[in-house]
A and B are shown apart, each in its own frame.
Chain A
Amino acid sequence: MERQEQFEPVIVAFCCWWCAYGAADLAGTSKLEYPTNIRIVRVPCSGRVEPQFILRAFKGKADGVIVAGCLEGGCHYVDGNLKAKRRVESLKKALNAIGLSGDRLEFYLMSSAMSDKFVEAMNEFTERIKRLGPSPLRV
């Protein structure tokens, strides 16, 4: 148990430029704190996130991956967020199938004004990954 508490996961968060990235900016501006484990990669739209990006992050020893896009109906690019959501859902199943828990991947929806939602998601996900422990690809 003690070992797990010291475990500091690495989490890659793909954030769409228009909503999630803005929410992260606002969280920073508002000095809302969340774990340093989160590392943000900017993408124009969550719909740009290739399964390849997610797998590359896991291969590079990330313990968890987040894809974050706009609220339903609020996508800057009409419905790229919904395409991303569907892809993430299938990929979660695929990760389960290969023994790399689908829980290590999550999709979040938020507007650029929802800094509280961003922080809540980051806290929740980091806690979850800490519970899951290091990625099997890492140990």
Chain B
Amino acid sequence: MSEPEDVRIGVFVCHCGLNIAKTVDVKAVADFASRLPNVVYAIDNEFTCSEYGQNQIKTAIRDHQLNRVVVASCSPKLHELTFRRTIEQAGLNPFLLEMANIREHCSWPHLHEPQKATEKAKSLVSAAVERAARLEEIGTVKTPVKKSALVIGGGMAGIQSALSLADYGFTVYLVEKQPTLGGKAAQLGRVFPTEDCGLCVAPQRQDMHRRCMYKTRILTRPNIKVFTLSKIKSLDGYVGNFKATILKEPRCISEELCVGCGECETVCPVQVPNEFNYNLDKRKAVYLPFPQALPHTYVVDRKNCTRCRKCVEICPTKAIDLDQAPSEFAVEVGAVVVATGTDEFEPIGMYGYGKSPNVITQSHLARMMDPGGPTAGDVIRPSDDKRPKRIAMIQCVGSRDPSTHLYCSKICCMISLKHARSLKAKYPDVDISVFYKDIRASGKNYDVYYEDCQEAGVKFLRGEVEKLSEDSGTGNLSLHFKPLSGSPHTAEFDLVVLTNALIPRKDTEELARTLNLSLSPDNFFAESHPKLAPLDTKLDGIYLCGGCVGPKDIPESITQAMAVASRAATLLAVGEVEIDLAKAVVDENRCIGCGNCETACPYHAIELPQTGIAHVIEVACKGCGVCVVECPTMAMELRHYKNEQVLAQIDGILAG
């Protein structure tokens, strides 16, 4: 390895009060550092990160013509940016700093072994000095940002973030997979904590009236373009400059021509179970998903359509084209918001679900309780259409359960309490028992539901439902219950409602691959940091909100949706991003054009143009360095983590 020339390193060893100095002999470390190659100045100081400590660095840079600085202190996760700024203020390129982590990685975990810790600290400082000697200046580049955003998912979170971004004045492309906007909230009927329709969204600007999703003008606002029946086929580019391809499945009915008269539905001979109403009723093969659907345009269910063409013939505006092909749209955006929500866990095989008709889920119950639903608000038993007198609700089905999902789905206690309270209000004679592990009603104005239920005589039974058996004659269900304390007993019910978990959408992995996003261990999208950056992803310019990060209620989803709009607007409003160039770089003389790097790059940041020499798109490169390892001719290097720099660090660690 070549020896660096004209390198003048200053080493600053921090006491961090007693955090380091109590365990590591900082004076010995500074003394050791002063004798290392290229080190012209080494001191220890009380708090290097303090104003005084930083000034010591700046003064030493001037007085001793330092051109590299090593700070041996805490983790660079804490103060790397601090010290980069410090040396920049003294005229050095910020990348000429190296830190030795002698607190988190040394004095703290080895606090009972001061001697060994001191030796280890010396080794870490030696490594930092060797690496520092080979550090290079790294510049920055500015790139313009497109003033538009892509919002994926047209549920409550997606609608709200699209509206908020449009209010900022940006162009928004809202992409929804279903034929209609509204997502899960459209199916819920009344929601907690306000007991109003789930689709109520925030008022806009001066107009402070509450408004339903359908009155937000989301479809007619000039700077929002809605794509229904659509998904993201591909996403290329980088922060501020994404190119998305949207794939739209055929609706077979023109959104411009359809007037929503419903003549087509009347003549359609095909009847299939209506998924919107959890198969409680039937719909046609040409249908409007629900009466308030937005866009208010009918849709052809191509899987079940028999192509009898009766609808085509009767349509007064000639809006129907059964041969419509899928279409693709390319859009360019500066930011992307993912708001794809959650799926419901289907508890097949649990507590007789799927086998006993009178075992249903809370969503099924919600459709029955919706005055606009298939039963006009009446709760009936699926087996005999009779009104149930004894209802059991079983909590945590698929949640907090090692055999399904470990996490708490967060909103299910409230769903049960909301339903129990409404049922008691509508049918005072109904007997409701809630079998639970814990009741979690911890939101603003939430606990009142629990109190109301207790007052109304809803029974709360804590423990485990061990067995459910069905009486084949009556369709009634016997629950064998083992309480937390007391002896097990059996009780009979007319209807059992399972409070099932919320789970990641089944296309989450596919979308994560398309967008290059990471998932959490529970398979929801992973936020950049749960506390510090809950709406960011690991990719600059791509943000998350709502249920796709983890189960959330509507107030929380709306909060996140508004926040994520602000988060994206921060990027879009500034209009340009500055990025450092600690990125991959190609030695054109060594590149043989094999394309290994292009294949290895997870960000499509490497192109292999006609020249046959790899080209790095620096703004798209995230600096992981996997391409460097894949290169067979060592033509690829990662700035700031060049082979030479890391190898020197290894040598430094092992020296002495």
Residue pair A77, B650 in contact (C-beta under 8 Å): no
Residue pair B75, A48 in contact (C-beta under 8 Å): no
Contact with A along B407-419 (1 / 0, CB 8 A): 0000000000000
Which residue on B lies nearest to A111, using beta carbons?
B521
Contact with B along A34-69 (1 / 0, CB 8 A): 101001111111011111110011001110000000
For chain B, residues 566 to 585, give those with C-beta under 8 angstroms from any C-beta of chain A.
Answer: none
Residue pair A83, B626 in contact (C-beta under 8 Å): yes
Residue pair A45, B526 in contact (C-beta under 8 Å): no
B112 contacts the other chain (CB 8 A):
yes
Which residue on B lies nearest to A41, using beta carbons?
B649
Q: Which of A42, A49, A57, A78 contacts B602 (CB 8 A)?
A: A78
Residue pair A71, B629 in contact (C-beta under 8 Å): no
Residue pair A47, B646 in contact (C-beta under 8 Å): no
Contact with A along B276-306 (1 / 0, CB 8 A): 0000000000000000000000000000000
Count the B residues whose beta carbon is within 8 Å of the partner chain — how many?
50
A81 vs B563: C-alpha distance when bound (angstroms): 32
A90 vs B410: C-alpha distance when bound (angstroms): 44
Which residue on B lies nearest to A72, using beta carbons?
B521
A33 contacts the other chain (CB 8 A):
yes
The minimal Cβ–Cβ distance linking B520 to chain A, given in whole angstroms, is: 7
Residue pair A53, B650 in contact (C-beta under 8 Å): yes
Residue pair A78, B518 in contact (C-beta under 8 Å): yes
Using Cβ atoms and an 8 Å threshold, which residues of chain A touch B116?
A: 36
Question: A33-B110, A48-B624 in contact; A56/B518 too (CB < 8 A)?
Answer: no
The minimal Cβ–Cβ distance linking A123 to chain B, given in whole angstroms, is: 11
Using Cβ atoms and an 8 Å threshold, which residues of chain A touch B625?
A: 43-45, 47-48
Residue pair A77, B626 in contact (C-beta under 8 Å): yes
Contact with A along B72-84 (1 / 0, CB 8 A): 0001110000000
Which residue on B lies nearest to A51, using beta carbons?
B629
Residue pair B651, A36 in contact (C-beta under 8 Å): no
Using Cβ atoms and an 8 Å threshold, which residues of chain A touch B600?
A: 83
B103 contacts the other chain (CB 8 A):
yes
Most chain A CB within 10 A, of B76, B110, B516, is at B110
Question: A28-B104, A44-B641, A60-B654 in contact; A73/B124 too (CB < 8 A)?
Answer: no
B108 contacts the other chain (CB 8 A):
yes
A62 vs B651: C-alpha distance when bound (angstroms): 10
Residue pair A50, B120 in contact (C-beta under 8 Å): no
Using Cβ atoms and an 8 Å threshold, which residues of chain A touch B538?
A: 18, 76-77
Q: Which of B108, B110, B119, B624 contacts A77 (CB 8 A)?
A: B624
Question: A31-B109, A33-B112 in contact; A43/B77 too (CB < 8 A)?
Answer: no
Using Cβ atoms and an 8 Å threshold, which residues of chain B touch A49?
A: 629
For chain B, residues 600 to 654, give those with C-beta under 8 angstroms from any C-beta of chain A.
Answer: 600, 602-603, 622-626, 628-629, 638, 641, 643, 646-647, 649-651, 653-654
Residue pair A44, B521 in contact (C-beta under 8 Å): no
Residue pair A60, B641 in contact (C-beta under 8 Å): no
B117 contacts the other chain (CB 8 A):
yes
Residue pair B638, A48 in contact (C-beta under 8 Å): yes
For chain B, residues 75 to 102, give those with C-beta under 8 angstroms from any C-beta of chain A.
Answer: 75-77, 101
Residue pair B104, A25 in contact (C-beta under 8 Å): yes
Question: A39-B123, A44-B625 in contact; A28/B103 too (CB < 8 A)?
Answer: yes
The minimal Cβ–Cβ distance linking B407 to chain A, given in whole angstroms, is: 15
A75 contacts the other chain (CB 8 A):
yes
Inter-chain pairs besides A18-B538, A76-B518, A80-B624, 6 sampled, C-beta below 8 Å: A36-B113, A48-B626, A48-B628, A57-B650, A57-B654, A74-B518
| 21 chain-A/chain-B pairs, Cβ below 8 angstroms | A25-B104, A29-B108, A34-B109, A41-B127, A41-B650, A44-B624, A45-B626, A48-B624, A48-B628, A48-B641, A50-B629, A52-B643, A53-B650, A60-B654, A61-B654, A73-B519, A73-B521, A75-B518, A77-B602, A77-B624, A78-B603
